[in-house]
Amino acid sequence: MKITPGKLSGMKAVSNDRGVIAAAAMDQRGSLKKSLAKEKGSDVGDREMEEFKTLVTEVLTRHASAILLDPEWGLPASKRRAKGAGLLLAYEKTGYDAATPGRLPDLLDVWSVRRLKEAGADQLEEGADEKGLEYAKKKPSIVTGAMQEFTKDRYGADVMKVEVPINMKFVEGARVFGGQKAYSKQEAMEHFRRAAGVSTKPFIYLSAGVSNAEFTEGLELAAEAGTRFSGVLCGRATWKEGIPIFAKQGTDGFRAWLEADGVRNINNVNACLAAAHPWYEFYGAASADTLL
């Protein structure tokens, strides 16, 4: 397979020197604003949203290959990322279209791919009771089906961003096991293998709002299953617990929390990436440059 020089440049910009995507995520908007307001006890304005995103970006991109931001409040933060950290920009509105089943995202009204590239983006990202037992039982087939569909060439995806195909809280014997079983450990590993097996494109796992402990244990299980994932896009699992710190202690308190707990969280995730495979390996290449 050959790819264009521009596309190759973008992929290299968001990957580390191993060809693994170790990306942080700070594109949350509506949910973040609500959480901050709840903790603060009053409305949150543009300045506070930009400050929160800038602090996360400044601290965590020292330990990430890239960061996903939004063009609404995230552009000032994008200028403060660590040297060498790539930039992904979200292409969809916050939340989902409530009028249509299936959590379909709406695209932003003003921003086009061209404008996002001109703003400095290296890559673009598209953004039932999902915490319950019944959904946990269905999740393997849902994730596998989505991967099987969107790995098709017709969608033009170079890397897929997917959830892990199981809910770790329902894996019997897991450290985060919640008491209700949807799968044994062996069954969970087989779900990882089955989902990975349908993909003809590299894929990365997103943290999907779970805790750091749950996300890292899921990555450990993926590695034990021999899953050929190419990295992560990790957001709330690194900084979510710092929301009340920012709301109550301000920027200085939040920066101190990020430097300690936030860095520890992202390093926990990075430690799991030893088992990740270079994205270009899926295209039969020994290195990224051989794809030109």
Distance CA 176, CA 277 (A): 26
Predicted local confidence at residue 91, as pLDDT = 80
Name the percent of the chain lying above pLDDT 90.
80
**Can you tell me the distance from the alpha carbon of 179 to that of 170, in angstroms, rounded to the nearest whole number?**
7
* Band of residue 1 on the pLDDT scale cut at 50, 70, 90: low
pLDDT the model gives residue 2: 72
Q: What are phi and psi of 124, to 5 degrees?
A: -120, 150
Contact yes or no for 94/102 (Cβ under 8 A): no
Tell me what the pLDDT averaged over the chain comes to.
Answer: 91
pLDDT digits (tens, 9 = 90+) for 124-153: 574 467 889 999 999 999 999 999 999 999
The CATH class of the 21-127+235-276 domain is alpha beta
SS3 string of 140-202? HHHHHHHHHHHCCHHHCCCCEEECCCCCHHHECCCCCCCCCCCECHHHHHHHHHHHHHCCCCC
Q: How many helices (H) and strands (E) does the chain have?
A: 11, 7
pLDDT of residue 90: 87
* pLDDT more than 70, % of the chain: 89
Q: Domain limits of the chain? A: 21-127+235-276, 130-227
Q: What is the mean pLDDT of residues 69-87?
A: 96
Min mean pLDDT across 99-103, 184-188, 206-210, 283-287 is at 99-103
Q: Assess whether pLDDT exceeds 80 at residue 98.
A: no
Token match 């999902």: residue? 130
Residue linked to tokens 């999740």: 139
Residue 111, pLDDT above cutoff 90 = no
For 89, the 3-state DSSP assignment is strand
Q: Give the pLDDT confidence score for residue 105 in this predicted structure.
A: 58
Residue 123 confidence (pLDDT) = 60
Q: Which region among 87-96, 132-141, 176-185 has the lowest average model confidence (pLDDT)?
A: 87-96
What is the model's pLDDT at position 3?
84
pLDDT score recorded for residue 110? 60
Q: What is the pLDDT of residue 116?
A: 64
